Structure 1
Amino acid sequence: MIRKIGLLSVLCFTMIAIGCSNGINTTLSNKPVSIMEKENPPEEFVPITLNVVGIGDSLTKGVGDNMDEGGYLGRVSELLKQNDTIKDINLTNYGVKGHKTTNLLKKLEEEEVASSLKEADLIFMTIGGNDIMNVVKQNILSLDFKPFREEQINYVRNFNEIVDTIRSYNPDVKIVYSGLYNPFKFLLPELTEIDNIVSEWNLSSSEILANDSNSLYVPVEDIFANATDNKLLDKEDEFHPNGIGYSLMADRIYEALTEEQDDLLEKSDE
């Protein structure tokens, strides 16, 4: 008797299940189907490729880098690649050993350079050290403040024109300028006046860039300021940074960039 009741229960349950199943199928067949399109992820989550351009003198060129890692520019590029929003770096380096501000102005007129600057997302620049060196060479026997102050007028004019030229090519690109350090700190330690000259020229550069809404001045003078810091210079010329010196510059530049990461680490809208 119990087995019959149990079997009857199973049959009833099965019939009910089949009935329900038929009902569900009928309902589903008459229900309109809606396919929702997925929204694209926010732009900040999509890895981008940055166009990075270096202009200026031997520091941007990477002269003295005994580790052969591209000077500060190569190292900053590698640091940028570690950011999750950056997929890759297209790096173009127009740094030239010995270039002064006058040389850079002519360089900016070249069609290839102008084209690269127009497409750039970040521009790194070093310039001015050879302008100071030129004054030293011409007045080595009677150095005083006067020739440096006279040349500073030319330097400020040229620096302004450099920034204006870049802006004429690319109004929105970020310009990152690394300031001057005293290249004669250990080579000619008796010329203590140059410390003051370098500081004055750096002040002029920083003031010019402060008037440009999308420029960044990065001071590096203090990195090479102490007597023990001669170990940060190339052994052959005691003028250019060595690999360690360039690494410290790159760290300083990258830190300055990340402080403004909301604007700097996202590619400009095309």
Structure 2
Amino acid sequence: MALAAKKTTKSVRPVAKKQLQITAIGDSLTQGVGDSAKDQGYVGLLKKTITKKYPKTKVTTANFGVGGNTSAQILDRVLNDPKITASVQKADAVVMTMGGNDIMQVISKDPLHVTTQAVDTKAQAACKNLTQIIQKIRTVNSQVPIFVIGLYNPFYVLMPTVTTMQAAVHSWNAGTQAALKLQNRSYFVPVDAILTKGDAKTKKAVAKRLKSVATTKQAQAASNSSSKKEPELTNPYLYKKDHFHPNHVGYEKMTTELYQVMADHKKLWLYQKK
């Protein structure tokens, strides 16, 4: 008796969508402040990145970034702006930034004497706002993947010995990651490691500065002499006019990190449904 021929199944390669809608919501980082190339910061660069990798896909972006917005103000816009609702409803992916202005409200009052409790309290409140934003998004688009970009410390290179801001950044990032883990299809994009300390040359200069500070303190303790003023260091990834927002190179670094996380979950936003 002849054996029945085995059926072979061909694996079908996923096909990228012909059109993609990316909705961006947030503060000045989403707005693209500091990008001298006028690419709308990471939003415009993300569009270019996807278009380059998938030239047959038409990528459309909607940018709802507003400089100076706190998480509470962003939440208010998400809840009440019909344009944001309409954009989210048809979005294939949502990307967000928030939290920097919340943290600055605490830090700017007295940066050298801010307590951990004050920072944690503000971070917890901001994370609650983030959760409400995601819940609102889910009411109009239950399946859209959401990517939230974390914070970095813009003051580290200028003031590496001041640890308050770094503690605040770590608190916010940890809280954000914890909040996102409780939400479906919501992902954290870390940028602290890549943006805070600048490039290799800057990292080396900062390390040398920190060593010099420690040596100077020891010398002062021994001789009671005044400290020598060191030349100012700057972060090459930040906008020169404010030393706070990313410059074009900084936004490129941010976009690379964002796309890497998005690529890990591209089946949720890139491919056509079978």
Mapped partners of 1:235, 1:207: distance in 2: 33
Task: Provide the residue aligned with 1:256 in structure 2.
Answer: 261
Partner SS, residue 21 of structure 2: strand
Task: Provide the residue aligned with 1:204 in structure 2.
Answer: 175
Q: Does 1:110 align with 2:110?
A: no
Task: Provide the residue aligned with 1:94 in structure 2.
Answer: 64
Task: Provide the residue aligned with 1:71 in structure 2.
Answer: 41
Q: 222-231 or 182-191, which moves further after superposition? A: 182-191
Mapped partners of 1:93, 1:157: distance in 2: 23
Mapped partners of 1:191, 1:262: distance in 2: 42
User: AA paired with 2:94?
Assistant: I
**Superposition pairs for residues 32-181 of structure 1, below 5 Å?**
44-45=14-15, 47-84=17-54, 87-108=57-78, 109-140=80-111, 142-181=113-152
The answer for unaligned runs of 5 or more in structure 2 is 1-11, 204-234
User: AA paired with 1:164?
Assistant: Q
Mapped partners of 2:166, 2:100: distance in 1: 12
Q: Does 1:224 align with 2:195?
A: yes
Q: CA deviation at 1:86?
A: 5.2
Q: 61-70 or 133-142, which moves further after superposition? A: 133-142
The CA deviation string for residues 214-269 of structure 1, in whole angstroms up to 9 with x for no partner, is 11211000112326270000000000000000001111111122222233322568
* Selected match of 1:240 from 245, 249, 252: 245
The CA deviation string for residues 9-39 of structure 1, in whole angstroms up to 9 with x for no partner, is xxxxxxxxxxxxxxxxxxxxxxxxxxxxxxx
TM-score normalised over the length of structure 2? 0.77
8 A contact 1:129–1:183 mirrored in 2: no
User: AA paired with 2:81?
Assistant: E
User: AA paired with 1:234?
Assistant: Y
User: AA paired with 2:66?
Assistant: V
The answer for unaligned runs of 5 or more in structure 1 is 1-41
Partner SS, residue 142 of structure 1: coil
Q: CA deviation at 1:85?
A: 7.8
Alpha carbons of structure 1 residues 268 and 241: separation in structure 2 relative to 1, 3 Å: farther
Q: 154-163 or 224-233, which moves further after superposition? A: 224-233
Partner SS, residue 53 of structure 2: coil
Task: Provide the residue aligned with 1:29 in structure 2.
Answer: none
Alpha carbons of structure 1 residues 224 and 46: separation in structure 2 relative to 1, 3 Å: closer
User: AA paired with 2:162?
Assistant: L
Identity within the alignment, %: 31
Mapped partners of 2:102, 2:272: distance in 1: 34
8 A contact 2:37–2:248 mirrored in 1: yes
Cα RMSD after superposing both structures: 2.1
Task: Provide the residue aligned with 2:217 in structure 1.
Answer: none
- Which structure has the larger Rg over C-alpha atoms? 1
8 A contact 1:234–1:241 mirrored in 2: yes
Partner SS, residue 57 of structure 2: strand
8 A contact 2:154–2:196 mirrored in 1: no
